[in-house]
Structure 1
Amino acid sequence: MRRRPGEGLRDRLRRRDPGYRLVRRAARLTVVASLVFYGCRYGLGDVTLATYALFGTVATGSFAQLPGPPGQRARTLLAALPVAWSLVAVGTVLAVSTAAASAGMLVVGFAVAFAGVGGPRLVGLANALQLFYILACFPPYRPDSLPARLAGVTLGVVLVALAEVALWPDPAPVGFPQRLAGAAGGLADLVDALADVLVAGPGAAEAAARRRARAARLLDGVRMSRLPVTARPTGAGRRDRAWRDAAAAGQEVLAVAGSLASRPDLPGSGDADLAGVLRRCAASLRRAADVAVRRPGAAAGDEPEWAGALPPSWRAAGPVRLRVDAAVRTLVDQVGTFATAVRIATGPGGRHGPRPPAPGPDPFWYAGRSTWSLYRRQFRAHLTPRSVYLEGAVRLAVALAAARVIAGVVNLQHGFWVLLATLSLMRASAADTRTTLRPALVGTLAGGAAGGLLLLVSPERQAYAALLPLALVLAFGVGPLLGLGWAQALLTLLLIVVFAQLNPASWQLAGARVVDVAVGAVVGVLAGLLLWPRGSGGELRRTAGAYLVTSGRAVERTVEALAGTADPRGAVDAARRAEALATASLVQYHAERHDPRLSHVDWDAVLAAAHRASHGGQALLADRRPGALAPWPGPAAALAARATRLCERYADLASQVARARIDRPPAPADPTGDVAREVHGLVRDGEDRPAVLSLVEVDSWLADLDGHLRRATATPP
């Protein structure tokens, strides 16, 4: 079948720009930028107003990458206006000298970049906010022009916000709640299948295996490293923390359900009552999924309808059935954690659900905290040289300040372009920055040559006024689709078209653009070579190792706390802090070109092992008082000794991860099943307290951690 003309082009465009988001943005930006520039430059005859209105439009319309639907993005832009005003004002005042402007650039560059710790909206605004200070901090030093500058920025930002919702608005993106709801549905199907396996026997095991694989794929889609930057719930506030905890609980549900599904003695080992508990868990997961996406009829305050106690038939069970009962009880706890986290994320502020029995750690400690205290805590956690956020902020601030010094000392024409090049081309690692250098310089040279030729052929300002819409479409619509070299070439052409209308220009304007981009790119490369040149790779080794060590200690302290001999809170808090740094390093690592020296480790499996230890222990402590195992000192002491050996194995893996090479086979796993047989003997002798099953739950959790350690030490795919 023959294709109609243009059909192949449309197919390629769909592949490069799904949903035509880039095309929509370029169209909105072209309309708004043309309107403000023509109105201010030719309608009002004010060059300053036109300059700041245009760059306010470009900064927020192109450099800002904001999450959420159009209305939310528009509100974010309007909320950022006071920050933009303050940066323009500070830049205007500090433009008095190169020293003042460069010192201001160092402070502003760090503060704005490090603010990304607070969440994806701040990350998305960072480059736009940097531009407001950069533009204002260059000569001429004219404090009297500040009202016109602020008016121009306000006009540009407000019109971009209006265009977001009124001009070809983007379709609402698939957000984290929708992804998590899909994963919860997959988990519910898996739990239902496990109920079938319990009562139906081997015939239902194949369906359970298929559903397990599907649930794993869906949950993989809510991992931070798999999500686009704007879709990650990395904010410091209560909602984002609750979404992260819900995702962690989902991973725990999958781990427990997976361990159940892989048991050869599972088919036919249960009864109708136990299967009913699993079906109620599946129903609770589906209700939580409805709450997450706010489906009609879903009430955020509903308690999940599952029984907290197992059926009384467990008292007549053998060791196999006791292990199944203990796993189901753990599953029930994790489903409750998932549902509670979803209610916190979607409901009003305040406490949801009962507090854990003191003095254990509170998994939802943030539910009643103020937003300000949560943000302060998150920023303080990343004020360490081990944070990739802090490293990136320091690297960028030093590069921008150095570029500002060079532009001022050498007195480069249009020195603003030097810092724009540094901001646009700098990457998190020296290797990635070097990769951008060649196409950027070639593209800039090509665009400068085309612009210089244009200035020679037609120096009249009217010609550039007519070319402005076309140059905007090419720079922001076509360039990003074709790659970095084309993007730089077309951006260079756009800047020449704009500046030829602001001031008298000659072909030398094109040469100044090429020189400025070359200087800015070289500054970025040198900063990358001198400051953490390996990007996140070095920190990933250190933070992943620290997370393994603290998680191993948390395992040891958790079991000792349940045995009544230790306080787990310090170890749990340390594991939480290490998790934040390790997760940030892993997310950044996946965004960079991978270092071959780090390819000998399956980093996702390593962090999964640490995560299972940390969050599994928190889940055990959430619903059990410290000392819950103390009535049975013999089995409790055996479990504590096993946890100590597991802690040592976590520390051994951490020492290998720190070298980015796993070269020692894992130690033999401790035998399982003895605790279940002991508990069976206790029950047979008259023990009728359901809490005795906690011994089997802890035993199963430790066995699962052995499996995670073995997967982490396997050869990476």
Structure 2
Amino acid sequence: MLGTSLLGRLRRRDPGDAILRRAARLTLVASVVFYGCRYGAGSSVLATYGLFGTIAAGSFAQLPGPAPQRARILVTSLPAVWALIAAGALLAWSTWAAAGGMLVIGFVVAFAGVGNPRLVGLASAFQLFYILASFPPYQPGTVPERLGGVTLGIVLLAAAEMLLWPDPVPVSYRQRLAEAADGVAAFLDAAADGLTDPHTDPGGRDARRTRAHDVVAAIELGRNPPEWAPSAAGAQDRALRICAAALREVLVEADQLAADTPSAPIPDRTAARLLRASADTTRAAGRALSPGGPTVELGDLDAAIGRAEAAYPEGEGDGHDAPDVSRLCRDATALALTDQTRIFAVGVRVATGSRLDGVDTHSGLFAYARHSPWTLYWWQFRAHLAPRSAHLHSSVRLAVALAIARVAAGVLQLTHGFWVLLATLTVLRTSAADTRTALRPAVLGTIAGAVVSGGLMLVVDQPIIYAVVLPITLMLAFGVGRLLGPVWQQALFTLLLTGVFAQLNPEGWRLAEARLVDVLLGVVIGVLAGVAMWPRGASHDLRLNATRYLAASADAVEQTIQAVLGGAPPLERALNRVRQRMILVDASYCQYHSERHGPHHRQVNWDAVLSAGHHVVPGAESLLRRNPPGCLAGWPAAAALLRDSAGQLRSAYDDLAGEVAHGDASAPVPVRIGCAGELDRVRPLLSEGDPRSVRHLVEVDRWLAGLADSLSRIHPR
């Protein structure tokens, strides 16, 4: 009965048996490697590095993607593993040399992940390879054996990933993006139907709108695991991020058109035709994201844009009759939506590796695609070398803690000093709150494991017994223990380690005592480092980065308005400043989601706050492509109206930044009332300008109103 209850509990915690399958693969490979090296080849060095290489790559490394991708990452990481083991072995001659190497390598390995999330998944495993090799005895001559053992373990594990009980292929970010594209396309079709016949199935339009918002929300970076989110510096991940931003903008514009649906069918169907062309292109781009999907073509969309822009300004009157501003606003919104659709389609071509020959790539938006991966990585790396980078703080904290732990283990001449650093690595988190959370299971589990293993060693002193039960302890530690909870996992891992070293270097019950002392020392160092160095984790950095990001966004808005009014501000510099600060705020936001938070931190609706900034850059670039700098020069009344609107928006951004910095509830901000509601603001100016200038005024004012609308959605949770 007890066994049945335990089995049922494990199955509930592991739907699909994913954890147990991984544990079974790890157990089989680790057992084969250890038995073959220790008892077949008769080498303790081969056995040690083979076993710990398998455990590090199979348990500590968190790798994304299907089995073939994970296997490829493991095999291609071997040169880095060899370098780390060689460096550790050569620096093991001195405690201070090894600690200095730990400080440098610990930082570099942790910080390297800013350019590729796959490196983040390998960071802990890489740290372990250096840690294991950096302890005495100092025997450079054993480096070939060490490299041979770890290579054998990693290669066999990579083969097992593909051949033994492979995991189901997970849903990738591209699949989520393709699903979002399909949902948005369906909503665009419904919005187009609403313009041509407002009384056709309004309930169906609402359902499609709801689904579109749900699937677009699923592609937010913060809602995807770091190893899955497209946060790498490479061209494909950059393109996917642009695609996600463009699709969000398409949905925002479609919402506006749906909200402004007239009570009767509109006489001119330009907006409806643009919506349908955008729906077709968005759907085709989503299909192109699937493996082997056809390349998305832009000819039909470009033709629709060309026809709309050719008819758009001239069809509004002769400059003396009042233009139909409602129609102007609908058409302007549809053109802005179509422009973002085109960005989405071009981004999909870049993400899928399609050629861009003959394709207008919107000036510098996709200029990065012409640069090498190393250049792109350096840009990302340099962006995070900033005082408010969450990645920089985490990397420095970890490197310093591991270096101190290495000094303590060397000065105290601990026989198994490796366990001190392993405990520090295990308990240290990105915030003091999370470190305290990891403290209790680490201590309780180690004490329980040490007591049990020490008692066993008093009773059983035959290494052959521990050899026989090795597969059982492996399966318990990495399968059952992980499902039962952190305390059980730590206790069973302690039992596994004492059983392994009972075969490598029998010391009796004192081995369990050494394990307990080493882990407690490592835990103390980890806790002190977590409390002393940036204890608030990403929450503090997120507030400061978001404040600076909103301020930069406000500057970009004001300078965009100055540009269309004929000023010559350094607009590209302002937009680049927003992009740079977006990198830091997005990184802080992703780390923030992985930490524990008190009720005070939840007062800020971070999704809405960051969305308010994310609308600025793509919107400004789209606006200036159809409304070039100086398009409204020489119209003083329009200049006064737009400057007043930009000033109010700047105040709203500044107020929001101040509230975010203090974690207070948002104060009232400008609320968007739609195109029809903007008539009273611009009506006095309509008879003063020519049709093209009126069009520019409506488009610029519509953009400012959209930004105010994004601010109006921010409320405390």
TM range (shorter): over 0.9
Q: How does 1:1-80 map to 2 (within 5 A)?
A: 12-80=9-77
CA gap of 1:16–1:268, structure 2 versus 1, over 3 A, is farther
Cα distance in 1 for residues equivalent to 2:232 and 2:50: 30
> 1:412 is matched with which residue?
414
Query: For the Cα contact (< 8 Å) 2:670–2:709, is it kept in 1?
Result: no
> 1:702 is matched with which residue?
704
CA gap of 1:386–1:409, structure 2 versus 1, over 3 A, is same
Q: How does 1:552-701 map to 2 (within 5 A)?
A: 552-566=554-568, 567-630=570-633, 634-662=637-665, 664-666=667-669, 672-674=678-680, 677=683, 681=687, 687=690, 689=692, 692-701=694-703
Cα distance in 1 for residues equivalent to 2:103 and 2:147: 22
Q: How does 1:199-210 map to 2 (within 5 A)?
A: 199-210=196-207
- CA shift, 1:606, in A, is 0.9
> 1:146 is matched with which residue?
143
Q: How does 1:420-439 map to 2 (within 5 A)?
A: 420-439=422-441
Q: How does 1:358-377 map to 2 (within 5 A)?
A: 362-377=364-379
Cα distance in 2 for residues equivalent to 1:679 and 1:75: 63
Cα distance in 1 for residues equivalent to 2:263 and 2:560: 28
Query: For the Cα contact (< 8 Å) 1:29–1:57, is it kept in 2?
Result: yes
Q: Deviations over 1:428-463 (max 9, x none)?
A: 100111111112111111111111111111110110
CA gap of 1:637–1:368, structure 2 versus 1, over 3 A, is farther
- CA shift, 1:681, in A, is 3.8
Query: For the Cα contact (< 8 Å) 1:56–1:152, is it kept in 2?
Result: yes
> 1:333 is matched with which residue?
339
- CA shift, 1:581, in A, is 0.7
Cα distance in 1 for residues equivalent to 2:113 and 2:233: 10
Letter in 2 for 1:75: R
CA gap of 1:532–1:322, structure 2 versus 1, over 3 A, is same
Mean CA deviation greater in 126-135 or 253-262? 253-262
Query: For the Cα contact (< 8 Å) 2:672–2:706, is it kept in 1?
Result: no
- CA shift, 1:633, in A, is 5.6
- For the pair 1:252 / 2:254, whether they are aligned, the reply is no
- CA shift, 1:677, in A, is 3.5
Query: For the Cα contact (< 8 Å) 1:233–1:243, is it kept in 2?
Result: yes
Letter in 1 for 2:610: L
CA gap of 1:319–1:705, structure 2 versus 1, over 3 A, is same
CA gap of 1:636–1:12, structure 2 versus 1, over 3 A, is farther
Cα distance in 1 for residues equivalent to 2:102 and 2:358: 44
CA gap of 1:267–1:56, structure 2 versus 1, over 3 A, is farther
Give the alignment partner of residue 393 of structure 1, picking from 379, 391, 395.
Answer: 395
Letter in 2 for 1:80: S
Please give the TM-score of this superposition, normalised by the length of structure 2: 0.93
Cα distance in 1 for residues equivalent to 2:82 and 2:125: 12
Q: Deviations over 1:379-436 (max 9, x none)?
A: 0000012000000000100111111111111122311011111111211100111111
> 2:238 is matched with which residue?
241
> 1:213 is matched with which residue?
210
Query: For the Cα contact (< 8 Å) 2:298–2:342, is it kept in 1?
Result: no
CA gap of 1:553–1:11, structure 2 versus 1, over 3 A, is farther
- For the pair 1:715 / 2:680, whether they are aligned, the reply is no
CA gap of 1:659–1:639, structure 2 versus 1, over 3 A, is same
Query: For the Cα contact (< 8 Å) 1:351–1:368, is it kept in 2?
Result: no
> 1:444 is matched with which residue?
446
- For the pair 1:318 / 2:319, whether they are aligned, the reply is no
Q: Deviations over 1:226-264 (max 9, x none)?
A: 011221100000000000000000111111111222236
Letter in 2 for 1:531: M
- CA shift, 1:208, in A, is 2.0
Which SS does the other structure have where 2:662 is aligned?
coil
Cα distance in 1 for residues equivalent to 2:330 and 2:521: 66
Cα distance in 2 for residues equivalent to 1:45 and 1:352: 64
CA gap of 1:383–1:349, structure 2 versus 1, over 3 A, is farther
CA gap of 1:180–1:14, structure 2 versus 1, over 3 A, is farther
Which SS does the other structure have where 1:354 is aligned?
coil
Question: For structure 2, which runs of at least 5 residues remain unmatched after alignment?
Answer: 318-322
Letter in 1 for 2:229: R
Q: Name the Cα RMSD after superposition.
A: 2.3
Cα distance in 2 for residues equivalent to 1:559 and 1:15: 57
Letter in 2 for 1:382: H
- CA shift, 1:265, in A, is 3.9
Cα distance in 1 for residues equivalent to 2:298 and 2:622: 21
Question: For structure 1, which runs of at least 5 residues remain unmatched after alignment?
Answer: none
Mean CA deviation greater in 259-268 or 599-608? 259-268
Cα distance in 1 for residues equivalent to 2:8 and 2:213: 31
Query: For the Cα contact (< 8 Å) 1:60–1:77, is it kept in 2?
Result: yes
Equivalent pairs counted in the alignment come to 703
Please give the TM-score of this superposition, normalised by the length of structure 1: 0.93
CA gap of 1:453–1:248, structure 2 versus 1, over 3 A, is same
- CA shift, 1:619, in A, is 2.5
> Percent identity of the aligned residues?
50
Query: For the Cα contact (< 8 Å) 1:539–1:585, is it kept in 2?
Result: yes
CA gap of 1:11–1:305, structure 2 versus 1, over 3 A, is farther
Cα distance in 2 for residues equivalent to 1:325 and 1:12: 58
Cα distance in 2 for residues equivalent to 1:23 and 1:676: 65
- CA shift, 1:352, in A, is 7.4
